[in-house]
Structures are given as structure tokens and as C-alpha cells.
Amino acid sequence: MVNRSNTEGERKKYQSTMDERHKEILKTNRINFRKNIANPDDINDMLFSRGVFTESMKQEVEAEKTPIQKLQKIMDIIPKRGSEAFDIFYEVLIATGNGTAADFIKPELKAYRLQNPVQSVQSMGNLANAQLPSEWPNEQAMTEPITVVPCYRLSRVFKENWSNTMTYSMKKKIRGRAIIINNTNFYGPSENGVVVLSRRKGTDKDKDRLEILFQQLHFHIIVHEDKSAQEIQTVLAEEIGDPYHSAADCFILVILSHGTKTGIYGVDGEVVSVEAITGFFASNICPNLAGKPKIFIIQACQGENKDHGGMLSTGPDISTIGELLRKTKDMSLNEQDAVKDPAQSSENRIATRRDIFIASATHPGFVSLRNTLYGSWFIQAVIWVFQRHAHAEELSTLFRMVNNIVSRGRTSDSESEMDIFQAARTEDSFIKKFYFFPSCHE
């Protein structure tokens, strides 16, 4: 039986208007397509199977006598087939072995295509099984250009999750806002006239590379530098009142700072608790983001204990940061983001603490490590994993991979003869799966 609502939805989708910029790209590259495409019949068949072409359009192409004439007919039809036709045409070119022609459509993805010449659209999901770095920190991995692998509409992940009601909607061209608070220079607290919190060398590497990553993941990025504890709260208070979020799919907050077991340091040495930070985004406080995924990524220590490792154990998780939700190698280059601690409900309202995901660089009570040249172990692992696997993996899986990488790292401890290790952690109250779907939008 034909689902009439789905059929009508598909019809409306292909009756929409293609972006003028995309039309211009197709128009100016017609000669390039003619020189680099030799199998228009395959392209015609796949465009029909994807629903871009109707039966009559497919027959129009087949009626042409030569391959060049068939290709010209295809190029005449595609610009008239709606907003999604451009992206689907790119995917079809890749799937039919026309990578060179695809590069004219999306040159920003050429580097990835050349690095993976044998990858077809159908096999893109296999990238998730790629080998993780054998050691961390890894200079090459932490300095390489960032290119997010696209999610293709032919992929299993897209087909199973794009319209799935148990997956958070991430369909808008700009998914939402990503706020980065980057604290580098501190002027408090002080002991005997000396500022205790050191300058966070290397944090700008994290900030700069996160901007590139989140831009490719379709977020609007705003960066705040060197904020006091009160200023952090002011930034968040202003953010939750912004009507921008009513039309957004998602919200991301990244905090790069020193930290302690009780929270995050402002540059004045005062502390803001993680509970207070996430509390700003409770559904009753920020209704514009109610029911939408809110992701918090925190690069900061949560104490001054150093993890010197131990025998493998199945012991309990000692974390306490999730209480809100439940109720390279050179030590001279690897610093710690830690110092000592200073002395109504109703049936039709969603849970106020729902749809929150917190990813922390370390566990409560322990230090996190930052390379002064290349950035923090945790954030650089996030960047490494997300650019390679966000197209195919759910958020919790991405962070398991991040933790896998971070936990491989070790650096010497100047105060003991043992190495220091680090383990990241997550806590969430998500009720659906979360995929970034890079390169896909309505």
C-alpha cells in the first residue's frame, strides 16, 4: 500500500526551489561534466531510484541518442528538481564512479575523496571501523587539516535515522548555536600576592580547531574570551533569552578553563558549578530549547589528583558530576587544568533536566592534561573522532571513541616516578539517538 502522506511529501520536496548558488555551480560546470562523465545511463537510473527523476523524466533522458545528449538532458532537469537535488546529484556522482565530476560540485570535499579513492557511498559507514591512533597525544593527528566526512543520503545511517522519531531532528541548514568560552589568562585567586592559576597555554589551538569543526557540522559559532565567573553566568543568561533558539535544532556549549572538583574557574578565580551552568538550560528556564538536545563539553580539571593507573577492574564509577542528571608525552608540554579548591510539575510538561549531554575531560577529583603546543588531550581527541566518524556514529559512541583515545595517553609526573593517565567521561539524560548528519539538511 502506498503511503499517501509520504508520497505527497516527496512531491512537495522536489517541487521546491533549488538554491540559486547551486544552480550557478551546475550551470558553470556543464563543460566539466561533459568531459568527466561517461556513464549518464547509470546516473539517470540512480536519480530515478532516489526519487529526483520521475518516470517521464527518466524516459526523456533515455530517448536521447548519444551519451552527451543524455547528460545534457540530465543537466537540464536537475536544477528544476528542488532544494535536495543538488546534494543527491553529488552523492550519485560518487556512487557511480564520477568522483572528479563530483569535485566540481563540492570542492571542499575533494581532499577527503582523494584520500579515500576506493570508498563508495555504500561503504562510507565502514569508516567507523577505522583504526584509532595507537598513542596519544599524537602531533600529526592534533595538527592535521580538519575535514568532516559527509553523511550520504544513500547510507544506512541516513536511511534509518533521518526521519526516525526516536532520533533528534538535526535537519536545518544551520543546526543551532555553538558557544565556546575560552579562558586563557587568570588574575585570581592569589596566595601571598601570587596568582595561583597559570596561563592556559595551548587553549587557543583547541578553540581555533573547534571553530572549524563545528562550522563544518553546521553550527553558528560564538566565542567568548577570558570571562569571570559572573560573566560566564551573564553570557548564559543572555543566551537562554535569545529567540534564535526557538528555530534551532540543537545547542552546544564548550568551556575551556581551569577547574576544580566544585566547578569551573572564571578568570577572576571564582567558581561556577557545572550544575549551575546546565541549570540555565532546564526546560522551564529555557523553553526555546525544551525537547532539543543540549550538549556541554567541558575541558577543565575537576581536582588535583593524578591518575597513575592501576590493575584493570570492574569497580564502580566514582563520578559525582552526574548527580544533577540522576537527581607529545613531555611533561613540560603537558599541563594540568587544576589547582586546589578555595576555602512545579504537570503531566503535559517535559522533565526539566531532560535532553542534556555532558562530556567532561576527566573524572571528579582528577586532573586533565593539555599540550601547550597542540591543545588538550580531550578536545583534540573530540576533533579527531568527530571529523572522521560523526557521519556514521551516534553521539554516545563518538565519545566512547574519544575516551578510548584519551585513555591511551600518558605523560611523566615530575613529582613521582609514575606516568599520569587520563580518562574522559560522559553523563546524559537524552531520550533519543543523536546524529550530526554532516552535509545533510532540508
Q: For the domain that residue 259 is a member of, what is the CATH number?
A: 3.40.50.1460
Residues 1-23: tens digit of each pLDDT: 334 334 444 445 555 689 999 99
Structural domain count of the chain: 2
Kindly state whether residues 175 and 248 are assigned to the same domain.
yes
Give catalytic residue positions. 258, 301
Residues 238-256: tens digit of each pLDDT: 999 999 999 999 999 999 9
For residue 90, which of 149, 47, 119 has the smallest C-alpha distance? 47
Cell of 147: 575535514
* 207 vs 406 pLDDT, higher one: 207
Kindly state whether residues 74 and 19 are assigned to the same domain.
yes
Kindly state whether residues 245 and 388 are assigned to the same domain.
yes
For residue 60, which of 79, 38, 75, 49 has the smallest C-alpha distance? 75
Contact status, residue 375 vs residue 141, Cβ threshold 8 Å:
no
Q: How confident is the model at residue 27 (pLDDT cuts 50, 70, 90)?
A: very high
Task: Show the CA angle centred on residue 429, arms to residues 177 and 370, nearest 5°.
Answer: 60
339 in a domain, yes or no? yes
Task: State the residue for C-alpha cell 568560552.
Answer: 181
The Cα–Cα gap between 397 and 384 comes to: 14
Kindly state whether residues 99 and 145 are assigned to the same domain.
no
Kindly state whether residues 38 and 143 are assigned to the same domain.
no
Range of the domain at 220: 139-307+319-428
Residues 127-168: tens digit of each pLDDT: 434 567 878 778 888 888 888 888 878 788 999 999 999 999
For residue 358, which of 327, 323, 387, 391 has the smallest C-alpha distance? 323
* 123 vs 314 pLDDT, higher one: 123
pLDDT(109) > 90: no
Mean pLDDT value across residues 296-303? 78
Task: State the residue for C-alpha cell 538554491.
Answer: 19
pLDDT(363) > 80: no
338 by DSSP, 3-state: which?
strand
* 13 vs 290 pLDDT, higher one: 290
Residues 36-94: tens digit of each pLDDT: 998 898 899 889 878 899 999 999 999 999 999 999 999 999 999 998 899 899 988 98
Kindly state whether residues 262 and 381 are assigned to the same domain.
yes
Q: For position 64, which CATH number holds?
A: 1.10.533.10
Supply the pLDDT for residue 156.
86
Q: What is the CA radius of gyration of the chain?
A: 25
Kindly state whether residues 199 and 343 are assigned to the same domain.
yes
268: region left, alpha or beta (phi > 0 left; psi from -120 to 50 alpha): alpha
Cell of 168: 533528534
In this structure, the dihedral spanned by the alpha carbons of residues 382, 385, 388 and 392, taken in order and rounded to 10 degrees, is -110
Q: How confident is the model at residue 430 (pLDDT cuts 50, 70, 90)?
A: very high
